C-alpha cells in the first residue's frame, strides 16, 4: 500500500509525526537570536542524553562523518591505534585509520561474535611503553546485531592509562546505558537516524577533557571536521559552518520526547523489544545470528535455515509493507536484520512477528507452530 | 508576528511549501529500490542544473564540506595552489588549504572589490614550469555581494593548461549561468540552502574527467569526503554513507520546480531582482558596497552612511519581520546584505524595499524621497 511503509531497519528509524512536522517548519537564519536559543536548549539536552558535562558537538554529516571527526581530531600521522573489528563498521574504522596513515592494529572476532575484552587487555598490557594512542570500539555492530562489551573493554583502556577510548555508539546511544562521564569515555560518535528518532543528516560527537588535551597536539589535517572550531562556536551556541537548521528543529522535538519518556524507560523499552524479538525468533525455530549475551539493543539478526532470507524480506515488503534489512557484504542473502531502535513500541514488534509468521507460512516453511512467535513475544511483554 | 518571518539573507533562503512538505514525508530506507529511483532522478536533474555530463555528487555536509571535498580529493601535500581572496569565503579557502599543508599563494582584492583577472593571468603566466596544481576561486563572494569574473579567470587557467580550476559556486549556482562543460570547469561546489531552495545540510560537487585523472594520484588523506567513494556508488544510484534522505526528498521537489521554470528564466529572474534591488538602493541614496560591474546575482550589500546598519536590520526584523544579513568580521556594523537568491519573486523585492523605506523614516534618515526606492525597483520590473 502506498504510504504504508513500516521501517524495521537499523536506520533510518521511524520518525514521530511531531518530529516530521517540526522539520517541515520554514528555516530561520542560523545566526539569529531565535536559533541561538534552540542551539542552547538542544545542546543541554544532548548532554543529558550523553550523560555528560563535557561537550557534545553537532555536525552536518552522517554517523561516519561524526566518527571520522572523533578519530582525526585526536591523532597524528603514524600514531599507533587499536581497532576492534567484528563486522562491517569495525572494518570501516580500520579502513578509515589506514586512509589517514595511522599505524593500525586490530582485535578481531568472527562476524556474529563479540570481541573478547581479554584480547584487548592483552594488547594493552603488552604496550608497556604506552605507544598506543587510542582504542577504537564499535559498541553495537549494526551489520551483525552484536553488542560488544564496552564497559569491560573500557576498564582495560583505563588500566592502560594513556590511550583514548573512541567509540562508535551509532546504534547504541539512546538504546542502552552509556554513562559517558561515569565511565570516563573520551569520544563517542553517533548519527541522527538512529536512537535520536530523526532523519539522517546530523552527526554527534561527545568529547572528554582528556581528549581535548590530546587535540592540542594532534596533527592529522582537518577543516570541516575540525571539532575545535565547533567547540569554540558552541560556547556561543553557534556553529562554524551552516548547520542543517531543519534537522535541528527535528532534534529539538525528538529530544523533548526523549526527556518526557526518561532515559531509564527508554533503555528498558529497548531491552524489552530486544527480548521479545529474540524470544519470538527462537519460537519460530529460526537461528539468531548473535548470542544472547551479546545481543544488540537496536537490531536482531536472523540466519534462517530452510527458508531464504531475501525471500522473507521480499514477502514482508510486498504483502505487509514492512522493511527489514538484509545482510551486508558476505552476509548478503544469509541473514536478515530486524531493527527495533528509536521510535518503536511493543505493538510494532507484535505486528512484525505476526507478519513474519504469515510470511514463513506463505514461503512453505514448516519448522514452527503458527502463532508461536507472537505468543513468545507476548509473554515477554506481559512479564515486563 | 509569530510565523511571519521573511528571510532575505544569503542562506538559508526561502523554501517553497511543496518542498517543505516533501521533506516532511516519513523517511524510507536508503538502500531500497524506491530510494534508488529518487537518486537516479535527482542525479539527472543535478546534471541538468550544472549543465554537465560529468558527475555531480551529493554529500551530507554544508557548502564548506563540499568545497573541502572539492579541494582535498585532487591535491597532495605540498602542492602549489593559487587562491583568489576578496572576502570571508576566499579567506576560508586559504585557511583550508593551509590546514592541509598546501603551498598556498593568493591573489587578493579589497573586500567589496572584484578580483582582477589580469593578476591571476600574471601568476599563471609566471608559472612556466607548470607547478601550480589548482586555482581556487570564489565566484559570488557572499560576504560582500561581489561577483568575480569566473569566465575571464577560467580563460587564463585554460591558457595555463595544467592547473585545475576549483570554484565555490555556493551563491552563484542557480542564480547565474555557469556552463560547467562548455567552460571546461573542473570542480564546482555548492550547498543546498541557496539557489537550490531547500534547507541546509546537503553539499554538491561537480567533477570533470580531468579532475578525476588527478584524483588517481592525489594523496591528501580523506575518507568521509572521499569523492571516489561517492562516484563509485553513484554509478549504482547509491551513496557510500547514509544520505540525508529527507533533504533529498526536498531536493527532488525543488529540482522539479527549477526545471519547470527553466534555467534561462531562473537566471533572468535573478538578474532582474538584482537590478531592481540596486536601483532601489541607489534611489534611497544609500551606497552600494559592490560595483555595478561586479554585482552578485544572489546578494546586494549596502554600506549606509548617516544611518546605522545594525539599527536598520533591527527595525526591519522587529516591525516588518524581514531578516537581512549583517556584515561579517571587520564589516560587522558597517554593511547590511539583502539576499535575493532562490525562491524570491519580484513582489518580495518590492516588499523589502518598501519596508526598508519605512525603516529609514523611522530612524530619521533624511537622504531620500519616500517612495523613491519602490518607484525605482518598479521601473526595473516594468521594463523587464
Per-residue model confidence as pLDDT tens digits over A169-187: 999 999 999 999 999 999 9
Q: What percent of chain B has pLDDT over 90?
A: 99
Instruction: Check whether residue A220 and residue A85 sit in a common domain.
Output: yes
Task: Note whether A270 and A345 are within 8 A (CB).
Answer: no
Q: What is the pLDDT of residue A37?
A: 98
The CATH number that applies at residue A281 is 3.90.1150.10
Taking contacts as CB-CB distances below 8 angstroms, the residues of chain B near A191 are: 242
Torsion angles phi and psi, residue B373, rounded to 5: -65, -50
Instruction: Check whether residue B277 and residue B251 sit in a common domain.
Output: no
Alpha helix positions (H), chain B: 17-23, 33-50, 63-72, 88-99, 117-126, 150-160, 209-215, 227-234, 245-261, 263-283, 309-320, 346-362, 372-383
Q: Report the C-alpha gap between B164 and B71 in whole angstroms.
A: 10
Q: What is the DSSP letter of B329?
A: G
Instruction: Check whether residue A150 and residue A252 sit in a common domain.
Output: yes
Instruction: Check whether residue A136 and residue A160 sit in a common domain.
Output: yes
Q: What is the pLDDT of residue B384?
A: 85
Task: Note whether B66 and B204 are within 8 A (CB).
Answer: yes
Cell numbers standing for residue A294: 551479546
Instruction: Check whether residue B156 and residue B47 sit in a common domain.
Output: yes
Q: How many CB pairs under 8 A join A and B?
A: 174
Maximum Cα–Cα distance across chain B: 63
Instruction: Check whether residue A302 and residue A155 sit in a common domain.
Output: no
A143-161 pLDDT per residue, tens: 999 999 999 999 999 999 9
Residue A175 three-state SS: coil
Instruction: Check whether residue B271 and residue B243 sit in a common domain.
Output: no
Closest CA to B92 of A245, A223, A31, A58: A223
Q: In the predicted model, what is the mean pLDDT of residues A109-138?
A: 98
Q: In the predicted model, what is the mean pLDDT of residues A222-232?
A: 98
Residue A139 pLDDT > 90: yes
Instruction: Check whether residue B29 and residue B59 sit in a common domain.
Output: yes
Positions in chain B short of pLDDT 70 = none
Q: Is residue B3 in some structural domain?
A: no
Residue A165 pLDDT > 90: yes
Task: Note whether A340 and A277 are within 8 A (CB).
Answer: yes
Task: Note whether B72 and B78 are within 8 A (CB).
Answer: no
Q: Is residue A9 in some structural domain?
A: no
Instruction: Check whether residue B282 and residue B200 sit in a common domain.
Output: no
Cell numbers standing for residue A246: 531543519
A221·B100 Cβ contact <8 A: yes
Our count of domains for chain A comes to 2
Q: Is residue B2 in some structural domain?
A: no
CA distances from B317 to A31, B305, B310, B311 (A): 13, 20, 11, 10
Task: Note whether A70 and A188 are within 8 A (CB).
Answer: yes
Q: Is residue B252 in some structural domain?
A: yes
Instruction: Check whether residue B205 and residue B306 sit in a common domain.
Output: no
Which among A9, A13, A21, A29 is the top mutation candidate for probing chain B, defined by the most B β-carbons within 10 Å of its own β-carbon? Answer: A29
Please, which residues have CB within 8 angstroms of residue A343's CB and are 6 or more apart in sequence? A13, A14, A15, A16, A197
Instruction: Check whether residue A251 and residue A184 sit in a common domain.
Output: yes
Model ipTM? 0.97
**Which of B243, B260, B277 is the C-terminal boundary of a domain?**
B260
**Which of B226, B260, B294 is the C-terminal boundary of a domain?**
B260
Instruction: Check whether residue B190 and residue B237 sit in a common domain.
Output: yes
* CA distance, residue B320 to nearest chain A CA (Å): 15
* CA distance, residue B366 to nearest chain A CA (Å): 29
B244·A247 Cβ contact <8 A: yes
A246·B64 Cβ contact <8 A: no
- Tracing cell 518571518 back to the chain, one arrives at B5
B244·A96 Cβ contact <8 A: no
A61·B63 Cβ contact <8 A: no
A305-332 pLDDT per residue, tens: 999 999 999 999 999 999 999 999 999 9
Q: Is residue A253 in some structural domain?
A: yes
Q: Is residue B12 in some structural domain?
A: no
**Which of A199, A228, A260 is the C-terminal boundary of a domain?**
A260
B92-123 pLDDT per residue, tens: 999 999 999 999 999 999 999 999 999 999 99
Q: What is the pLDDT of residue A384?
A: 86
Residue A196 pLDDT > 90: yes
Structural domain boundaries, residue A359 = 263-383
Amino acid at each position: 500500500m502506498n504510504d504504508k511503509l513500516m521501517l524495521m531497519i537499523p536506520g533510518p528509524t521511524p520518525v514521530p509525526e511531531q518530529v516530521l512536522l517540526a522539520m517541515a517548519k520554514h528555516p530561520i537564519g542560523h545566526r539569529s537570536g531565535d536559533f541561538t536559543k534552540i542551539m542552547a536548549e538542544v545542546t543541554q539536552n544532548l548532554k543529558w542524553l550523553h550523560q555528560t558535562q563535557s561537550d557534545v558537538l553537532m555536525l552536518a554529516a552522517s554517523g561516519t562523518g561524526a566518527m571520522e571527526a572523533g578519530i582525526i581530531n585526536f591523532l597524528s600521522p603514524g600514531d599507533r591505534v587499536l581497532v576492534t573489528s567484528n563486522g562491517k563498521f569495525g572494518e570501516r574504522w580500520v579502513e578509515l585509520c589506514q586512509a589517514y596513515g595511522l599505524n593500525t592494529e586490530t582485535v578481531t572476532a568472527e562476524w556474529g561474535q563479540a570481541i573478547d575484552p581479554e584480547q584487548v587487555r592483552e594488547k594493552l598490557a603488552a604496550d608497556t611503553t604506552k605507544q598506543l594512542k587510542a582504542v577504537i570500539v564499535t559498541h553495537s555492530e549494526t551489520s551483525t546485531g552484536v553488542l560488544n562489551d564496552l564497559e569491560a573493554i573500557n576498564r582495560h583502556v583505563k588500566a592502560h592509562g594513556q590511550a583514548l577510548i573512541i567509540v562508535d555508539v551509532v546504534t547504541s546511544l539512546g538504546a542502552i546505558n552509556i554513562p559517558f562521564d561515569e565511565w570516563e569515555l573520551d569520544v563517542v560518535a553517533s548519527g541522527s537516524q538512529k536512537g535520536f528518532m530523526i532523519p539522517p543528516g546530523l552527526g554527534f560527537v561527545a568529547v572528554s577533557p582528556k581528549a581535548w588535551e590530546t587535540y592540542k597536539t594532534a596533527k592529522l589535517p582537518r577543516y570541516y571536521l575540525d571539532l575545535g572550531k565547533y567547540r569554540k562556536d558552541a560556547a556561543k551556541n553557534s556553529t562554524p559552518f551552516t548547520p542543517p537548521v531543519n534537522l535541528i528543529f527535528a532534534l529539538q522535538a525528538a529530544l523533548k520526547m526523549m526527556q518526557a519518556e526518561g532515559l531509564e524507560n527508554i533503555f528498558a523499552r529497548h531491552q524489552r523489544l530486544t527480548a521479545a524479538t529474540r524470544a519470538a525468533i527462537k519460537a519460530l525455530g529460526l537461528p539468531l545470528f548473535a548470542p544472547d549475551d551479546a545481543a544488540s539493543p537496536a537490531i536482531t539478526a536472523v540466519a534462517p535455515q530452510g527458508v531464504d532470507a531475501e525471500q522473507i524480506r521480499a514477502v514482508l515488503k510486498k504483502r505487509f509493507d514492512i522493511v527489514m534489512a538484509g545482510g551486508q557484504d558476505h552476509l548478503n542473502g544469509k541473514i536478515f536484520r530486524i531493527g527495533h531502535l528509536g521510535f518503536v513500541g511493543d505493538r510494532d514488534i507484535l505486528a512484525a512477528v505476526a507478519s513474519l509468521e504469515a510470511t514463513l507460512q506463505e514461503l512453505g516453511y514448516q519448522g514452527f507452530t503458527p502463532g508461536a512467535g507472537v505468543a513468545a513475544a507476548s509473554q515477554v511483554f506481559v512479564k515486563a
